Structure 1
Amino acid sequence: MSDKKPKREAPHSVRLSVDERARYLLGAAGMPLGAFFKMCADLYLDLPTVRDRNELTPQDRDSLARIYNWLGTSRIGSNLNQIAKAINERTITVTPETEAVVCEASRALITIRDILLTLLPKKRRR
Protein backbone atom coordinates (compact mmCIF):
# COMPACT_ATOMS: atom_id res chain seq x y z
CA MET A 1 0.00 0.00 0.00
CA SER A 2 1.37 3.41 -0.97
CA ASP A 3 1.28 6.51 1.25
CA LYS A 4 1.47 8.88 -1.70
CA LYS A 5 -0.68 11.94 -1.51
CA PRO A 6 -2.90 12.62 -4.50
CA LYS A 7 -1.26 15.04 -6.89
CA ARG A 8 -2.64 18.57 -6.62
CA GLU A 9 -4.03 20.24 -9.67
CA ALA A 10 -1.98 23.01 -11.19
CA PRO A 11 -2.95 26.47 -9.87
CA HIS A 12 -4.69 28.85 -12.21
CA SER A 13 -3.13 32.18 -12.94
CA VAL A 14 -4.57 35.35 -14.39
CA ARG A 15 -2.60 38.07 -16.09
CA LEU A 16 -3.67 41.57 -15.09
CA SER A 17 -2.59 44.96 -16.27
CA VAL A 18 -1.33 47.38 -13.65
CA ASP A 19 -4.62 49.29 -13.83
CA GLU A 20 -6.71 46.12 -13.51
CA ARG A 21 -4.69 44.93 -10.52
CA ALA A 22 -5.04 48.30 -8.79
CA ARG A 23 -8.79 48.34 -9.43
CA TYR A 24 -9.24 44.78 -8.10
CA LEU A 25 -7.08 45.45 -5.05
CA LEU A 26 -9.24 48.46 -4.27
CA GLY A 27 -12.41 46.40 -4.67
CA ALA A 28 -10.99 43.56 -2.56
CA ALA A 29 -10.63 45.95 0.42
CA GLY A 30 -7.76 44.06 2.01
CA MET A 31 -8.78 40.56 0.98
CA PRO A 32 -6.24 38.46 -0.91
CA LEU A 33 -6.99 38.72 -4.64
CA GLY A 34 -7.48 34.96 -5.01
CA ALA A 35 -10.14 34.92 -2.29
CA PHE A 36 -11.72 38.05 -3.79
CA PHE A 37 -11.92 36.44 -7.26
CA LYS A 38 -13.43 33.26 -5.79
CA MET A 39 -16.01 35.28 -3.87
CA CYS A 40 -16.92 37.28 -6.99
CA ALA A 41 -17.23 34.13 -9.08
CA ASP A 42 -19.42 32.49 -6.43
CA LEU A 43 -21.66 35.55 -6.29
CA TYR A 44 -21.85 35.72 -10.09
CA LEU A 45 -22.77 32.03 -10.31
CA ASP A 46 -25.15 32.41 -7.35
CA LEU A 47 -23.22 29.84 -5.31
CA PRO A 48 -22.82 30.02 -1.53
CA THR A 49 -19.63 31.87 -0.67
CA VAL A 50 -16.95 30.15 1.35
CA ARG A 51 -15.73 33.24 3.19
CA ASP A 52 -16.71 33.36 6.85
CA ARG A 53 -19.01 36.34 7.27
CA ASN A 54 -17.47 37.08 10.68
CA GLU A 55 -14.00 37.47 9.19
CA LEU A 56 -13.08 41.13 9.23
CA THR A 57 -10.98 42.82 6.60
CA PRO A 58 -8.02 44.91 7.79
CA GLN A 59 -10.02 48.07 6.99
CA ASP A 60 -12.94 46.79 9.08
CA ARG A 61 -10.62 46.04 11.99
CA ASP A 62 -9.06 49.51 11.74
CA SER A 63 -12.48 51.16 11.61
CA LEU A 64 -13.71 49.17 14.60
CA ALA A 65 -10.56 50.03 16.54
CA ARG A 66 -11.08 53.75 15.85
CA ILE A 67 -14.75 53.53 16.88
CA TYR A 68 -13.94 51.64 20.10
CA ASN A 69 -11.18 54.12 20.88
CA TRP A 70 -13.49 57.06 20.30
CA LEU A 71 -16.26 55.53 22.41
CA GLY A 72 -13.75 54.68 25.14
CA THR A 73 -12.40 58.22 25.32
CA SER A 74 -15.71 60.00 24.88
CA ARG A 75 -17.70 60.98 27.92
CA ILE A 76 -21.11 60.17 26.46
CA GLY A 77 -21.96 57.35 28.89
CA SER A 78 -20.64 59.30 31.85
CA ASN A 79 -22.59 62.40 30.84
CA LEU A 80 -25.82 60.41 30.49
CA ASN A 81 -25.25 58.86 33.91
CA GLN A 82 -24.72 62.31 35.46
CA ILE A 83 -27.94 63.56 33.84
CA ALA A 84 -29.83 60.49 35.08
CA LYS A 85 -28.44 60.98 38.59
CA ALA A 86 -29.43 64.66 38.60
CA ILE A 87 -32.93 63.71 37.42
CA ASN A 88 -33.26 61.05 40.13
CA GLU A 89 -32.05 63.48 42.80
CA ARG A 90 -34.39 66.12 41.39
CA THR A 91 -31.57 68.66 41.17
CA ILE A 92 -32.59 69.59 37.62
CA THR A 93 -36.00 70.23 36.20
CA VAL A 94 -37.03 67.76 33.55
CA THR A 95 -38.98 69.16 30.66
CA PRO A 96 -40.54 67.01 27.95
CA GLU A 97 -37.79 68.22 25.60
CA THR A 98 -35.03 67.20 28.06
CA GLU A 99 -36.59 63.80 28.53
CA ALA A 100 -36.87 63.30 24.77
CA VAL A 101 -33.20 64.21 24.23
CA VAL A 102 -31.99 61.86 26.98
CA CYS A 103 -34.14 59.00 25.69
CA GLU A 104 -32.97 59.58 22.11
CA ALA A 105 -29.30 59.59 23.21
CA SER A 106 -29.81 56.36 25.17
CA ARG A 107 -31.46 54.66 22.19
CA ALA A 108 -28.66 55.85 19.90
CA LEU A 109 -26.00 54.36 22.19
CA ILE A 110 -27.87 51.06 22.38
CA THR A 111 -28.15 50.99 18.58
CA ILE A 112 -24.43 51.74 18.18
CA ARG A 113 -23.59 48.97 20.65
CA ASP A 114 -25.83 46.48 18.83
CA ILE A 115 -24.30 47.34 15.44
CA LEU A 116 -20.77 46.98 16.81
CA LEU A 117 -21.62 43.62 18.38
CA THR A 118 -22.84 42.30 15.03
CA LEU A 119 -19.47 43.23 13.50
CA LEU A 120 -17.44 41.38 16.11
CA PRO A 121 -16.48 37.78 15.32
CA LYS A 122 -18.69 35.37 17.26
CA LYS A 123 -15.78 34.06 19.32
CA ARG A 124 -15.05 37.59 20.68
CA ARG A 125 -18.64 38.45 21.70
CA ARG A 126 -19.61 38.25 25.34
Structure 2
Amino acid sequence: MSRVAPFSLRLSADERQQLETQAGSMPLGSYIKSVVFASEAPTYRKRKKPPVAEQQLLAEVLVRIGQSRTANNLNQIAKHLNQGTLVVDEELERDLAEALLDVAWMRAKLMQALGTKP
Protein backbone atom coordinates (compact mmCIF):
# COMPACT_ATOMS: atom_id res chain seq x y z
CA MET A 1 0.00 0.00 0.00
CA SER A 2 1.52 3.33 -1.02
CA ARG A 3 1.31 6.24 1.37
CA VAL A 4 0.06 9.70 0.47
CA ALA A 5 1.78 12.90 1.54
CA PRO A 6 2.02 13.49 5.30
CA PHE A 7 -0.66 15.46 7.12
CA SER A 8 0.48 18.47 9.11
CA LEU A 9 -1.18 19.62 12.33
CA ARG A 10 -0.22 22.79 14.19
CA LEU A 11 -0.26 22.49 17.96
CA SER A 12 0.62 24.80 20.79
CA ALA A 13 3.49 23.69 23.03
CA ASP A 14 0.96 22.69 25.71
CA GLU A 15 -1.12 20.66 23.24
CA ARG A 16 1.97 18.85 21.99
CA GLN A 17 3.07 18.08 25.53
CA GLN A 18 -0.39 16.74 26.39
CA LEU A 19 -0.36 14.45 23.34
CA GLU A 20 3.12 13.17 24.14
CA THR A 21 2.07 12.48 27.72
CA GLN A 22 -1.05 10.62 26.58
CA ALA A 23 0.93 8.65 23.99
CA GLY A 24 3.39 7.39 26.61
CA SER A 25 5.96 5.18 24.90
CA MET A 26 3.89 4.89 21.71
CA PRO A 27 5.16 6.96 18.74
CA LEU A 28 3.14 10.16 18.55
CA GLY A 29 1.89 9.54 14.99
CA SER A 30 0.75 6.03 15.90
CA TYR A 31 -1.03 7.31 19.00
CA ILE A 32 -2.86 10.04 17.07
CA LYS A 33 -3.97 7.55 14.40
CA SER A 34 -5.18 5.09 17.03
CA VAL A 35 -7.33 7.77 18.64
CA VAL A 36 -8.65 9.26 15.41
CA PHE A 37 -9.47 5.93 13.78
CA ALA A 38 -10.86 4.24 16.90
CA SER A 39 -14.30 2.74 16.31
CA GLU A 40 -15.71 4.77 19.20
CA ALA A 41 -14.26 8.05 17.92
CA PRO A 42 -16.93 10.74 17.65
CA THR A 43 -18.32 11.41 14.21
CA TYR A 44 -19.26 14.87 13.13
CA ARG A 45 -21.79 16.05 10.63
CA LYS A 46 -20.86 15.67 7.03
CA ARG A 47 -20.28 18.67 4.86
CA LYS A 48 -23.46 19.60 3.14
CA LYS A 49 -23.47 20.11 -0.58
CA PRO A 50 -25.54 23.07 -1.62
CA PRO A 51 -28.84 22.01 -3.17
CA VAL A 52 -28.80 21.71 -6.95
CA ALA A 53 -31.20 24.63 -7.37
CA GLU A 54 -28.84 26.92 -5.44
CA GLN A 55 -25.89 25.73 -7.50
CA GLN A 56 -27.82 26.50 -10.68
CA LEU A 57 -28.62 30.03 -9.46
CA LEU A 58 -24.99 30.64 -8.58
CA ALA A 59 -23.92 29.27 -11.96
CA GLU A 60 -26.32 31.69 -13.66
CA VAL A 61 -24.73 34.59 -11.80
CA LEU A 62 -21.21 33.44 -12.74
CA VAL A 63 -22.20 33.10 -16.39
CA ARG A 64 -23.75 36.57 -16.37
CA ILE A 65 -20.63 38.05 -14.77
CA GLY A 66 -18.47 36.31 -17.37
CA GLN A 67 -20.56 37.64 -20.24
CA SER A 68 -20.91 41.12 -18.80
CA ARG A 69 -18.50 43.97 -19.29
CA THR A 70 -20.00 45.72 -16.26
CA ALA A 71 -16.90 45.48 -14.06
CA ASN A 72 -14.63 46.77 -16.81
CA ASN A 73 -17.07 49.53 -17.77
CA LEU A 74 -17.43 50.70 -14.17
CA ASN A 75 -13.65 50.66 -13.80
CA GLN A 76 -13.27 52.87 -16.88
CA ILE A 77 -15.93 55.26 -15.60
CA ALA A 78 -14.17 55.50 -12.22
CA LYS A 79 -10.84 56.12 -13.97
CA HIS A 80 -12.25 58.99 -16.03
CA LEU A 81 -14.07 60.37 -12.99
CA ASN A 82 -10.81 60.41 -11.00
CA GLN A 83 -8.96 62.04 -13.90
CA GLY A 84 -11.66 64.65 -14.31
CA THR A 85 -12.25 63.56 -17.91
CA LEU A 86 -15.66 61.97 -17.47
CA VAL A 87 -18.13 63.07 -20.12
CA VAL A 88 -21.70 62.27 -19.17
CA ASP A 89 -23.58 61.63 -22.38
CA GLU A 90 -26.49 59.42 -23.42
CA GLU A 91 -24.23 56.43 -23.98
CA LEU A 92 -22.74 56.69 -20.47
CA GLU A 93 -26.20 57.07 -18.94
CA ARG A 94 -27.34 53.97 -20.84
CA ASP A 95 -24.23 52.04 -19.69
CA LEU A 96 -24.82 53.05 -16.07
CA ALA A 97 -28.48 52.06 -16.24
CA GLU A 98 -27.48 48.68 -17.71
CA ALA A 99 -24.85 48.20 -14.99
CA LEU A 100 -27.42 48.96 -12.30
CA LEU A 101 -29.79 46.39 -13.79
CA ASP A 102 -27.00 43.79 -13.92
CA VAL A 103 -26.02 44.42 -10.30
CA ALA A 104 -29.66 44.31 -9.15
CA TRP A 105 -30.21 41.03 -11.04
CA MET A 106 -27.05 39.47 -9.55
CA ARG A 107 -28.03 40.62 -6.05
CA ALA A 108 -31.49 39.10 -6.38
CA LYS A 109 -30.12 35.78 -7.69
CA LEU A 110 -27.47 35.58 -4.98
CA MET A 111 -30.02 36.31 -2.27
CA GLN A 112 -32.32 33.66 -3.76
CA ALA A 113 -29.47 31.14 -3.80
CA LEU A 114 -28.69 31.94 -0.17
CA GLY A 115 -32.32 31.57 0.78
CA THR A 116 -32.75 35.14 1.97
CA LYS A 117 -35.42 37.58 0.99
CA PRO A 118 -34.57 40.86 -0.73
| TM-score, normalised by the number of residues in structure 2 | 0.40
Larger Rg: 2
Q: RCO higher in 1 or 2 (8 Å CA, sep ≥ 6)?
A: 2
